[in-house]
Amino acid sequence: MFRSALVRWLSRFVPSPLTVGWPERLRSCLGALFGIAFTGTMMHLLLGPAAHIPLLVAPMGASAVLLFAVPASPLAQPWSIIGGNLIAATAGVACASWIATPILAAALAVALAVGAMFALRCVHPPSGAVALTAVLGGPEIHALGYHFVATPIALQSALLLCAALVYHAVTGHRYPHAAPQASSPGPATTATTAGTVRPHDGFTRADLEAVLKQRGELLDIDPGDLEALLRDVQLQAYARTFSELTCADIMSRTLVSVSATTRATTAWELLQQRHIKALPVTDEKQHVIGIVTRADLINAHIPGAASEQPPSMRRGFQRWFKRRAATAPQIGTLMTVVVQTVDSTTPIVELVPVFANYGHHHIPVLDADKRLAGMITQADLIAGLYRQRAAQQQRIA
């Protein structure tokens, strides 16, 4: 019994599998490389090679891990690194000045830093190392006194943060992190994939915050991210019950498409005649190369699209539209070339997160040869889910 209990206890040390893909891991490594190199180089340029101030302090390596490897963490946000490091540096210098015993000074510095970071909502784990550095960094660090707070800590923290802001922007990563907005229609309701709203289903943000408060511990995830994650899991679990219908079963087979050389005025007339909001753009082999929407044509001031504009704008463009109708631009200059498509054999459950999370309203469906086979709208998906749910209920009855 003791042996089995020991094995169970030791099994808790086994790390959970990572869900981070290799591209993201590589992006994180390159970000840390860039961040530390940039910080050290700028310190060298600003202070010169003969400076008695460290060009890099060890805690910046730990900060780089957070800023580049887990940028969504609340511990890695701008206020966390700047506020946490400044507080810890101040506490460390103060304790080193007041207390002669290094171990006691170091312990108190870290404790004060943690308490202050909690109070000011800027918890940043590497800041604990900043406090220790201020106490145990040696004569050169002690000689700096409170200048240690500004240089090197504040300066290096700012440089590393600037590097993170630039790197994440260039690589298309969201930073500073903002939790995605919940897709539910209100704080006390949950929207189901069948298009109905049932207040008794799911959970609210208030429920989530109440449970987090009951746990009484800091979780390394933004509450908004946790809410979005739980709602996606809830949506996936609900959608898992729909596994029979495919895109081919619910798509519209009445195809209306245009080519890249089609005039925009012709495309607008098709949208009006068919009462649709988007047209797939295909090549001569019926391969989808783009998509054009009503909004694309209206924003481009296409002749005829003025009917969608307010009356005051419509009158102003009317004469110009008549003169320009024959020379309207081609669709190839207005279409969106990055198009979300699905295969005809794709189960409709896989469309739920696409429509729910990415703002798509219409998705082209491709056949086995990657040619346009149909179109699916949000209404088609809702109708398909309702149809399949009704069929399931009939079989149960």
Per-residue model confidence as pLDDT tens digits over 277-290: 899 999 999 999 99
Q: What distance in Å separates the CA atoms of residue 341 and residue 321, rounded to the nearest whole number?
A: 34
* Residue that the structure tokens 């809702």 belong to: 382
Architecture of domain 247-396: Roll (3.10)
Can you give the pLDDT at residue 180?
A: 57
Convert 187-214 to b/e letters by CB count within 10 Å (16 or more is b).
eebbbbbbeeeeeeebebeeebeeeeee
**Helix 102-119 × helix 78-98 angle, to 10°:** 150
Query: Which residues of the chain, if any, have pLDDT below 50?
Result: 182-200, 313-323
CA dihedral 148, 150, 156, 157 (to 10 degrees): 110
- Quick check: pTM over 0.75? no
Can you give the pLDDT at residue 196?
A: 38
What the block records as the tokens of 41 is 């180089």
Alpha helices in 48-154 (DSSP H): 59-69, 78-98, 102-119, 126-136, 139-144, 147-148
Can you give the pLDDT at residue 128?
A: 97
Can you give the pLDDT at residue 384?
A: 80
Strand partners, 376: 363
Can you give the pLDDT at residue 195?
A: 39
Can you give the pLDDT at residue 46?
A: 92
What the block records as the tokens of 384 is 């398909």
The domain ranges of the chain are 22-170, 181-240, 247-396
Which residues lie closer than 8 Å to 43 by C-beta, 6 or more apart? Answer: 53, 55, 56, 152, 155, 156, 159
Strand partners, 191: 197
